[in-house]
Amino acid sequence: MFFWGKSLFLKPIRVSAFFVLLFSAVLSSTPSAMATTVTVSIPPLAGIVAPLLGDGDRLNVLLKPGVSPHGFQLRPSHLRTLQNSDLVLFVGGGMDAWIEKPVQSMKKNAIEMMALLALTRLPVREGGLWQKEAHHNHAHNETDNHIWLSPSNVVLMVKAVSQRLQILLPNQVQVIQQREQRWLATLAATDAQVNQILMPIKKQPFLVLHDAFQYFEHYYQLKGAGAIRLNPELPPSLKRIHQLRAQIKAGNVRCVFKEPQFSEKRLQAVISGLPVRIGTLDPMGRFALSSSSNRFTDYVRYDTFLKQMAGSLIECLADKK
């Protein structure tokens, strides 16, 4: 192809280069136009929905690994991230209350996981070493908001997010449906594997740092015996430390689980001099399977998360000969 004219003459090779650059620019702009940006409040939600997204999509996690959701506050950068999101996912029920008002005020397309129908909901545990003190403002029949610790709840979350993505991206409905089916199949296989892994320790009592794991215990029929802290942000009183030590001695508790985002100083006071092991469980999914690994990302996939939980429990609770 040639252009003739005194100042417009171009050789063929130069015209070809021009159109290559133009075509490349069009291609590079196409994925961003078709892509979607999803923002989640906490890392476990990212691990639940990541397999539903394509390579060109963006997944933002507001709460970074190692940070407790209790008392967290949004910064201006978080608000900008929310503003630029096509879909926002949060737990609700007070778990991530810091995101609820901004999402409402921005009128963002959002899914509150605790509002999903058919969700398994367990009340906050009361009595014994699960007892909640009155000044912590736990009302009777309050729902435990750690709902992602139940694989059956996660299946509902995956389906709900898949449906919303299909609405947002009508040209990708079939692809999203295929991702959903593959992901649900992976989760089902992982669930069966984890159940087998946990079989030898289902009758072994254990203590946790705070009562975040009820859904996991309920689903896999584990024997949680109590929590060290009534409030994850406050250390246990001396009276409670005495109660916990008595429970460990009387209940044959073999293991106490700490969490990486909280100090273990008071936990040491509880178990000092007692024949009990310390393990690590993390409801936020930060703890790595290998204790030698220091590499963390903003989230781990939920199948990995389940395996991490099972591995941590087995490592601490299983008989060691």
Q: What is the pLDDT of residues 261-316, one digit of tens each?
A: 777 777 888 888 898 999 999 998 875 434 444 444 688 999 999 999 999 999 99
Q: Are 92 and 153 in contact (CB under 8 A)?
A: no
Q: What is the mean pLDDT of residues 205-232?
A: 90
Instruction: Say yes or no: 219 and 118 in one domain.
Output: no
Picking from 148, 169, 193, the residue at the C-terminal end of a domain is 193
Tokens of 99: 């995101």
d(CA 303, CA 84): 29
d(CA 83, CA 141): 35
Instruction: Say yes or no: 25 and 62 in one domain.
Output: no
> Which comes out higher in pLDDT, residue 245 or 160?
160
d(CA 78, CA 268): 36
Instruction: Say yes or no: 209 and 273 in one domain.
Output: yes
Instruction: Say yes or no: 154 and 209 in one domain.
Output: no
In the chain, the number of structural domains is: 3
Instruction: Say yes or no: 97 and 205 in one domain.
Output: no
Domain residues for the domain of 265 are: 199-317
pLDDT for res 86? 97
Q: For residue 79, give the CATH number of its domain.
A: 3.40.50.1980
Instruction: Say yes or no: 82 and 52 in one domain.
Output: yes
Tokens of 286: 């930060």
Q: What is the mean pLDDT of residues 91-105?
A: 95
- Residues in Cβ contact with 161 at an 8 Å cutoff, skipping those fewer than 6 apart: 48, 49, 52, 87, 89, 111
Instruction: Say yes or no: 95 and 22 in one domain.
Output: no
Instruction: Say yes or no: 115 and 226 in one domain.
Output: no
pLDDT for res 160? 98
pLDDT for res 67? 80
Instruction: Say yes or no: 112 and 167 in one domain.
Output: yes
Instruction: Say yes or no: 68 and 146 in one domain.
Output: yes
pLDDT for res 210? 87
* pTM to 2 decimal places: 0.83
Picking from 193, 220, 248, the residue at the C-terminal end of a domain is 193
Instruction: Say yes or no: 40 and 155 in one domain.
Output: yes
Picking from 193, 228, 250, the residue at the C-terminal end of a domain is 193
Instruction: Say yes or no: 40 and 182 in one domain.
Output: yes
